[in-house]
Amino acid sequence: MMKTEPTTYNLLDSISYPEDLRKLSVEQLPEVCEELRQDIIQELSCNPGHFAASLGTVELTVALHYVYNTPYDRIVWDVGHQAYGHKMLTGRRESFCTNRKFKGIRPFPTPVESDYDTFTCGHASNSISAALGMAVAAAKKGEKDRHVVAVIGDGSMSGGLAFEGLNNASSTANNLLIILNDNDMAIDRSVGGMKQYLFNLTTSNRYNQLRFKASKMLFKMGVLNEDRRKALIRFSNSLKSMAAQQQNIFEGMNIRYFGPINGHDVKNLARILRDIKDMQGPKILHLHTVKGKGFEPAEKEPGIWHAPGKFDPETGERITADTSNLPPLYQTVFGETLVELAEKNPKIVGVTPAMPTGCSMNILMQAMPDRAFDVGIAEGHAATFSGGMAKEGLQPFCNIYSSFMQRAYDNVIHDIAILRLPVVLCLDRAGLVGEDGPTHHGVYDLAYFRPIPNLTISSPMDEHELRRLMYTAQLPDKGPFVIRYPRGRGVLVDWKCPLEEIPVGKGRKLKDGKDLAVITLGPIGNIAARAIKRAETEKGLSIAHYDLRFLKPLDETLLHEAGRNFKRIITIEDGARKGGMGSAVLEFMADNSYTPHIERIGVPDTFIEHGTVQELYQLCGMDEEGIYNILIKNDE
């Protein structure tokens, strides 16, 4: 049954902020959790967002706000997609129905929205570093009573940044608590050695619990102080490694390890948090949780229920529209075409940093499991790993969301571009992505990749162009080749065109015109084409339209033609206005002494919030109406 009217809750309705929660008894916490979980299910069923992760952290969220003095004490959520319960307990339950909507609650915690949100969330693996910074700052300011807690998932723990944070935490004076929320899932299944290591730790559960109890008792009795504790750890670790040929990696780094414990027993969780809260030195608490906990379909298929869209909260049936007559997703075209190419070219391999389903690399994984790699949330590694394979003769297609590629900038320069290694860098989610907001918009790649020598940078206007660019990119001697395309559907229902080469650096004149020229890059060219048609029909203008296809190398013949023939040129791109395609055209015209009036349509120099892509296009003047208004401006 769909949610029709607000449900009333016995305890949850009395909690607006954590102070209210802290007035309850420990015995009441399970009921709070049950109500909070139900409320998340009800809310998400009609206003979609990240779902399964927040169900898995209900007890942790309640326990944290119960035990810690938030917001004075700092909780740093990693990614923040698991923090819906946190939002509801921190003054945003009433407005939660606007979550992820334009002008509504933001998709991930951010201090811009609430004092309870301590840092920027969205990109994985930053929580330990940020929390360590806060802990050090607190100590420097003499705030001895301020506690800092980082909450990081097992998937996010696979990221290099998390390891850097751990490494630094182990050797810097701090009292940080790291909570490892281990549900054995990223968006898809967790991968890698850390996941295996955490699983193995489970098997030594009894040992860790015994050790925790013993050390607590000795502390209480005054037998154990910090120096003796460290000596004891060294002694117990050496005994343990002798016995089990294995050392706890965290303990080995001087980070005290507790767990693993059941992350859904809220009373026990609160008790343990209280016990370890004031212990000196860095600590890690390892929780076992179930992604999707308490909602059976999500527990069974947490991958699908990571962000399932609307659903019926009673039956668990997902509400999906019939898409059979719609153009395909660019992601499907990418995945299917990659398999087609890999069947013919044995050198092709696929790489994804933890987004196999999102980018459709899972199609290659299923068809050719030994030729596709999910490397975990490790974009920098994905790029360098691809470079290594390319150096030895393979042809990697490394697919990374545009905004996550920001993490791999130096890897692309240092480990791919300098040696001109033939890696195809597929930038999925290029352009404004919608409800995930400013952390996830893929709007900087054109500007950040354009200055790098040896790179070819392209963007297809439709599915056929995507297939042709993918085909072209894997031909011999093409060097590093970037292909950027957006989240969502293309424009051609019949997308399976023959695979043909596109000459590198060659754009297209889509139509001639006399009054002004429009230069576009990528799928936004389709919106521009509609606006052009309207301006011609309604205002009698004659407008030339060029699809540049390549930002690098630029089609100089095409640009000379535009520079020679037009006094007014409008560039349109789904990316930052500063530094991208429009800037490249400006530079070209200036360098060649052309003096047209150039207007650049693109994302302005500000962080764009969340909303539907359509709403955000409108906000940036990049929708059909916005483009039309610019086209006719001088004609009014």
Ligand X SMILES: CC(=O)[C@@H](O)[C@H](O)COP(=O)(O)O
Ligand Y SMILES: Cc1ncc(C[n+]2csc(CCOP(=O)(O)OP(=O)(O)O)c2C)c(N)n1
Q: Annotated binding site for thiamine diphosphate, which residues?
A: 81, 122-124, 155-156, 183, 295, 379
520: contact with ligand Y by CB under 6 A: no
Interaction mask 78-107, ligand Y, x per CB under 6 A: -x-xx-------------------------
d(CA 29, CA 34): 9
Which one of residues 377, 457, 572, 613 is an interface residue with ligand Y (CB under 6 A)? 377
Return the C-alpha torsion angle 561, 562, 566, 572, nearest 10.
170
Q: What is the footprint of ligand X within residues 115-174 (CB under 6 A)?
A: none
CA angle 112, 114, 118 (to 5 degrees): 80
Interaction mask 297-316, ligand X, x per CB under 6 A: ----------x---------
CB 257 within 8 A of CB 208: yes
Would residue 379 show up in a list of annotated catalytic residues for this protein?
yes
Identify which of residues 50 and 74 has a Cβ nearer to ligand X in the complex.
50
468: contact with ligand Y by CB under 6 A: no
Residue 429 binding: pick among ligand X, ligand Y, Mg ion, none (C-beta 5-8 Å cut-off by kind) = ligand X
Q: Which two tokens stand for residue 166?
A: 């751990």
Catalytic member of 87, 195, 283, 291: 291
81: contact with ligand X by CB under 6 A: yes
Strand partners, 77: 151
188: contact with ligand X by CB under 6 A: no
Q: Which two tokens stand for residue 195?
A: 């996941």
Alpha-carbon distances of 265 from 283, 299, 531, rounded to whole Å: 20, 17, 58
Output the DSSP codes for 123-151.
STT-HHHHHHHHHHHHHHTT-TT--EEEE
Q: Give the pairing of strands 283-288 and 177-182.
A: parallel
358: contact with ligand X by CB under 6 A: yes
Interaction mask 151-170, Mg ion, x per CB under 5 A: --xxx---------------
Q: Which two tokens stand for residue 204?
A: 């030594």
Q: What is the footprint of ligand X within residues 391-430 (CB under 6 A)?
A: 429
Would residue 336 show up in a list of annotated catalytic residues for this protein?
no
The H or E element that residue 380 is part of is: helix 379-391
183: contact with ligand Y by CB under 6 A: yes
Nearest approach in angstroms of CB 127 to ligand X is: 13
Give the SS3 label for residue 74: strand
Residues touching ligand X: how many (CB under 6 A)? 10
Residue 126 binding: pick among Mg ion, ligand X, ligand Y, none (C-beta 5-8 Å cut-off by kind) = none
Would residue 195 show up in a list of annotated catalytic residues for this protein?
no
Residue with tokens 């893929």: 442
125: contact with Mg ion by CB under 5 A: no
Catalytic member of 35, 59, 379, 624: 379
d(CA 474, CA 468): 10
Strand partners, 591: none
Binding residue ranges = 81, 122-124, 154-156, 183, 295, 379
CB 289 within 8 A of CB 184: no
d(CA 518, CA 544): 6
Q: Which of 241, 246, 212 is nearest to 229 (CA)?
A: 212
492: contact with ligand X by CB under 6 A: no
Residues binding ligand X (CB under 6 A): 50, 79, 81, 187, 307, 358, 429, 433, 436, 487
Contacts to ligand Y by CB under 6 A: 53, 56, 79, 81-82, 123-124, 153-156, 181, 183, 185-187, 291, 354, 377, 379, 404, 407
Catalytic residues: 291, 379, 407
